[in-house]
Amino acid sequence: MGFSTLKGRNLLSLLDVNAAEIGELLDRAGDLKERAACGERVPVLAGRNIALIFLKPSCRTRVSFVVAATQSGAHPEFFGREDIRFGIKESVRDIAQVFGRVFDGVMFRGFEHTTIAEFAAHAGVPVWNGLCDTYHPTQVLADLLTLRENFGELHGLPVTYVGDGRNNVARTLAVAAVKLGLDLRVLAPEPLHPDPASIAELLAGAESSRAAITVTASPAEALAGSAAVYGDVWVSMGEEEQTDRRIELLRDLKVTPELMARTGRTDTVYLHCLPAFHDLETETARARPDLREVADEVFEGPRSRVFDQSENRMHTAKALMQLTIAG
């Protein structure tokens, strides 16, 4: 394996990497996935130590980084909210310097993007954003790998995101669109549209001439010809007090077989970063049945790729850690 420009780098958002580097991450992840399927391990991080900081809860991000680190030969260590009391007992800056002296890389899930940026500025080792209020880049790497597995070429690929158009996943997909030339449509009611100035700024700096971002409340405009319909929860972590209002705004955009049919294609895939509220019984879904953003016929249906995405979190996390630590 040759020298990678990713060595020593952070991934705080996809804005930190260029299209070629995203391609390198996806190629490596695909290769590692094939090798893992044959039982092969690539222990290029033997003897290394990885810190996983979670100030918000997690299932997929935690398991994918733990297993990816272990299969790469590294030791992962988990830190929860109560272990790392930023700003209460110690400053972000001091903790970052301690972690940077001890660990070879740090995955950080938190709230404000400025906190993770401050942490990365003082850690001196690669820091990967495992979700913040603004971005979720390690998720979208897995999504891009899943899209590539299904459609091969990402250039010009029409993808429709449905839901809260201002959240971390929608924003990260918009960055991916301008890097790689996706034809991204954001389908959301007007109060949940992303800030037009931020979209214009992203498009002005687009790396690919195929990049397009359409923000619309019209299902017909957003869905026609789409290769993928991408859902997320209507209420992101930390926004729970907005639940009633979100249901009011989004209830007509629940992803049903009828909504999927509006793409006019039979090969459209359904994607979701998970966790999802669908028609299966969970405590939350039972308490608020109208908070379900997707019908089971779609979530469990033959065009759903949601568990491929989950698995791909692990392969992309492995590629990210290997390339940024070992090169």
Question: What is the number of other CB atoms lying within 10 angstroms of the CB of residue 288?
Answer: 14
Between 56 and 155, whose beta carbon lies closer to ligand NVA?
Answer: 56
Question: Does residue 39 come out as left (phi exceeding 0), alpha (psi in the -120 to 50 range) or beta?
Answer: left
CB of 274 to ligand NVA, least distance (A): 7
Of 28, 60, 136, 185, catalytic: 136
- Positions that interact with ligand NVA (CB under 6 A): 131, 167-169, 232-233, 236-237, 273
CB of 44 to ligand NVA, least distance (A): 28
136 is catalytic: yes
232 is catalytic: yes
CB of 207 to ligand CP, least distance (A): 25
Cis ω for the linkage preceding 302 (within 30 of 0): no
195 is catalytic: no
Of 71, 139, 309, 322, catalytic: 139
Of 273, 305, 315, 322, catalytic: 273
- Positions that interact with ligand CP (CB under 6 A): 58-61, 131, 139, 273-275
Rg (CA), the chain: 19
Which one of ligand CP, ligand NVA, none interacts with residue 44, CB within 5 to 8 A by kind? none
Please provide the DSSP assignment of 183-230 as one string: EEEEE--GGGPPPHHHHHHHHHT-S-TT-EEEEES-HHHHHTT-SEEE
Between 235 and 326, whose beta carbon lies closer to ligand CP?
Answer: 235
313 is catalytic: yes
**Would you state the structure tokens that stand for residue 106, as one six-digit string?**
């740090």
CB of 103 to ligand NVA, least distance (A): 24
139 is catalytic: yes
**Residues 6 or more apart from 140 whose CB is under 8 A from it?**
14, 169, 172, 173, 175, 176
Between 61 and 72, whose beta carbon lies closer to ligand NVA?
Answer: 61
Which one of ligand NVA, ligand CP, none interacts with residue 232, CB within 5 to 8 A by kind? ligand NVA
What's the one-letter identity of residue 236? S
**Would you state the structure tokens that stand for residue 93, as one six-digit string?**
């800056």
Between 28 and 60, whose beta carbon lies closer to ligand NVA?
Answer: 60
Cα within 13 Å of Cα(50), Cβ side = 30
Catalytic residue list: 109, 136, 139, 232, 273, 313
